Chain A
């Protein structure tokens, strides 16, 4: 029989809710870093300077081809050997932010490449500067086709935050583990963690779809 203890469940719930805050903070911060650095990665691969292009492209490939948990360990444990001592939070945000930046840069690249050549030519014919062309003409049009992919990675980074528990970031998984080792009960904390993830992931995915439609309408690009 399932040995579920409701009283224990209610006891541990407040701790897990506090930890949920940390999980959301980690996902939010990490995603914020990824969104910005991802754009830098994507644009850097389009500069006329081939050295920059090659270095960034290889870095993105490297990040995408190695496990996130290894990258987290690397930043946190190998960093100090080079004199870079970071708190678990800082190391975790750098690792997960860069990891998802690499993925997002590919999403952006696809979005940018989906903008018709004629748009670039119109921008040239109006003599718009390169920066203006990107930020006013190309990126707004690259955004709607990128949103689905960006949304997937938002849910993805949220679900990957438990990996930060390996370096001691007090997010949900870390807290559930702590409860387990204190009480020797694992069923309730792990189940609750799963339920909490589900309760956040599902509405987020739905929200992203609504947001995508809203952005398209906002930009006047009703399809």
Chain B
């Protein structure tokens, strides 16, 4: 192992306007294939950042690293001012151990392309599992919280159904409620509409719109729904070849893309619609 020099990275981010999420010089590679190349990305508290780009550009990897589903090779990720991938030890940072990861993970929730609901549990049980067994809530509290969230996503009536009895859009809405039940500070949406039939995409995007409107959540979203991204995002990042090729407000990026690759990508996407 050639350990990277971590002395350049602070043990915590301090001061005013500490970003909720901060990637500092983060590199991820599989063997010689570099998936993310020295990524620097800050997401402010309450900000909605959408990541777009061609497949293989590293979009999903950004979310998976934040959820600690992937390790990183270089750099440090900070969440809520504290290092996520590393932890303070004496005067410097060392790679995070399991208990540090568990502590930090509680700040982050994620929804997946294929929902990943637990098939042997009902919608309600899916939502209650984490609050009861991770957060230590009583069954009653967890049930109240879960029912509230299932109502928010319009799934209150289906709370006693198993996932196999639910449509894709319904499963994804339950998955959103399940993630929200952990009260994360950061929510990650990884292509949550990509596996859905076109006619049910709206029911999931509407739920996300509602979350943006009603909760002060920090969100990172990977999507191919350009219209939705344009409507909802505070900022859009276009990824290409493991780097942020261009970023800006939706108006800037969609209305007036400056980089050639962004223009090519957006016109290719437009043609496909």
Contact = CB atoms under 8 A, between A and B. Distances in A.
Interface of A: 116, 118-119, 121-122, 124-129, 132, 136-137, 140-141, 219-222
Given A122-B116, A127-B106, 17 more contacts: A118-B114, A121-B116, A124-B67, A124-B105, A126-B134, A126-B179, A127-B105, A128-B129, A128-B130, A132-B134, A136-B129, A137-B118, A141-B120, A220-B119, A220-B122, A220-B165, A221-B120
A129 B129 CA distance: 12
B182 A126 contact: yes
Interface string B82-106: 0000000000000000000010011
Main secondary structure of the interface of A (DSSP, over half): helix
7 contacts: A121-B112, A122-B117, A122-B118, A126-B178, A128-B129, A132-B134, A140-B120
Nearest to A143: B120
B244 interface: no
B164 A125 contact: no
B121 interface: yes
Task: Sort A-B residue pairs by CB-CB distance and give the 7 closest, nearest first.
Answer: A220-B162, A122-B116, A219-B120, A118-B116, A126-B130, A125-B110, A127-B105
Contacts of B108: 125
Contacts of B178: 126
Interface of B: 67-69, 102, 105-106, 108-110, 112, 114, 116-122, 129-130, 133-134, 162-165, 178-179, 182
Contacts of B106: 127
Given A127-B105, A127-B106, A141-B119, A221 B134 contact: no
A220 B112 contact: no
Nearest to B105: A127
Contacts of B67: 121, 124-125
Contacts of A126: 129-130, 134, 178-179, 182
A121 B119 contact: no
A122 B117 CA distance: 7
B102 A127 contact: yes
A145 to B, nearest CB: 12
A125 B118 contact: no
B188 to A, nearest CB: 8
Q: Which of A119, A121, A126, A136 has the most CB of B within 10 A?
A: A126
Please indicate which of the listed interface residues A118, A119, A122 has the most CB atoms of chain B within 10 Å of its own CB. A122
